[in-house]
Amino acid sequence: MKISRLLTSFLFAASYAFAIPVLFNGWGAGQFGLVAATPTVNLNGTITGNAGNIQDGVIAVNTGVDLALSGGTVTGAIDFADAANKTTGGTCPADAGGTCRVNANSAFTGGTVTGVTVQSAFAVTNAINEWNTLYTGWGGVAGVTANLGSGGGAYTLCAGSTTGCTTGNTTPVTQSVNGMTQTAYVFDISSTAGAVNHSVTIKGDGTALVILIYNNATTLNINQAITLTGGITADQVLLDVTSAGGIITGTSFNYAGALAVKDTTETLQGTMSGRLYLGGVSTANVSSFNLTAPADLATPEPATELLIGGALVLMVVLTRKRA
């Protein structure tokens, strides 16, 4: 009886862990910190993935994209959709002969990549497809209006509550995105004309996602901190910039969450803990920018599945013995 109860508790905990809401699937965007699909990405900063694994992809580069690395450190591997056989500048100690290799469009003039630079078309394509579906899946959803540029003090967005909030939302929306049923509190911040001029706190309850949609014709300008509280993580928050004006962040920008910018322009500085999708139409300038990616999201490992299956078999055996 004691063993049976222990196994039941284990299985309950395991199923609960797998049910935690996240934006991403495994084997896609949830494996990378930066996914670059805009034609040119001028990169000079620190992009950090799972330290110590030279084959763990932290940057995904789409077909024909020019990844122009001029400085900083990339901790992890860079996966190209195209063949990565062009030698270039920079420092890549994990590559053969310590020589960086990129696709035909890219050129490194500086910087260090601690992981390998390889072609991994399957992983890159999956990541871009997942981002595009996520971007469009939530981009057209109506949400509670929140003007982050109003007032002079700190601004608090509350998901699931209206207590102690500048703006609260108690009505979640459910969508089918990337084959997953996702439930989120959606905020429309398109009325934020111009700059976000004060710090923003996003308060969640850990049971649903939080989506911020910006679709104003003007450029979203952020030079403030956007922090999370209430038990939500970076993989549960998405800032979805669908505006033709794009986004500009300053050196004081400090954001925990995912950021998607597509079919527009992006100029990024500051610090981010989360995942970033650059899907603009021209050039993305990512300079003096520090990005730390969350841990990879993956489907349960075969060993985990075997353990759960074995536990179920053992429970059946014990039940039959008692009978």
Domain definitions of the chain by residue range = 2-20+302-322, 29-292
Task: Confirm if 213 and 187 have CB atoms less than 8 A apart.
Answer: yes
pTM (2 d.p.): 0.86
pLDDT score of 152: 67
pLDDT score of 73: 96
pLDDT score of 15: 35
pLDDT score of 52: 62
pLDDT score of 19: 60
Q: How many residues does the chain have?
A: 323
| CB contact set of 120 (below 8 Å; sequence gap of 6+) | 57, 60, 79, 80, 81
What are the residue ranges in the chain where pLDDT is below 50?
1-18, 299-322
Of the candidates 158, 208, 168, 204, which has an alpha carbon nearest to the alpha carbon of residue 23? 208
Q: Please give the Cα distance from 305 to 311 (Å, whole number).
A: 10
pLDDT score of 315: 43
pLDDT score of 270: 97
pLDDT score of 209: 96
